[in-house]
Amino acid sequence: MSKIELLTPQNSVLLVIDHQPQMVFGVANIDRQTLKNNAVALLKSAKVFNVPTILTTVETESFSGYMLPELLDVFPQQDLLERTSMNSWDDQKVRDAVAATGRKKLILTGLWTEVCINMCAFSAMADGYELYVVEDTCGGTSETAHRASMDRMIQAGVVPMTWQQVLLEWQRDWARKETYDPTLAIVKEHSGAYGMGVDYAYTMVHKAPQRTSSIGTIVK
């Protein structure tokens, strides 16, 4: 395996760490609604491509609260691996779940960047995994804390990515028709101006019918 080898649905595993209300409250480097949008988009992407996705939480009932429901909605039948340690990699359940996938390209998303992401990344690297951190789905307690943590991880060999970069790297070829429409559906819902551009192309270039909503349609 090599970091210059592209991510594929067959070589990746996603670990989702502590997207919980108490952790979100402390995030200061990114708009919290944007953070949630990005995290949901990443999980939807993993589901479309059948990438093994592991959900872990810390001190749910005593401190952090339940994982954000929008994330749970993506994997409603998924078991949550509850922990006490800030470092997910200290928990045997988490290590076993990742190892069971047989994949070495480990993608991380979670809160906070400078604590739970940082420690897990270094510990997993020590065990031989290649680490990728989806930066725009992670949050730190300040811009400085987030940036210093990302810099520290990058210096150690962690690869920074964005959720849309991960999605499009998994898709890679628009000839892959089985995931073409689901990929564009995620883009339209979560990618802001790019998603609006896709809608524009569908209607103005490909003459797709107008999409309707509960608000109503245009009357001419």
In this prediction, residue 103 carries a pLDDT of 98
Per-residue confidence band for 212, with pLDDT thresholds at 50, 70 and 90: low
**Domains of the chain, start order:** 12-170 (3.40.50.850)
* pLDDT tens sequence across 174-209: 999 999 999 999 999 999 877 677 766 666 655 666
Q: Any idea of the CA torsion for 156, 59, 72, 135, to the nearest 10 degrees?
A: -20
Quote the pTM value.
0.90
* Residue of 100, 106, 62 whose CA lies nearest to 84: 62
CA-nearest of 28, 76, 41, 84 to 55 is 76
Please give the pLDDT value at position 4: 86
Rounded Cα gap, residues 57 and 63, in angstroms: 11
Whether the bond into 112 is cis, omega within 30 of 0 = yes
> CA-CA distance, 99 to 73, in Å (whole number)?
25
Mean pLDDT score of the chain, rounded to an integer? 92
Torsion of CA 3, 131, 80, 50, to 10 degrees: -10
pLDDT of residue 216: 47
pLDDT for position 198:
72
Known catalytic residues are 116
Q: For 43-53, write each residue's pLDDT tens digit.
A: 999 999 999 99
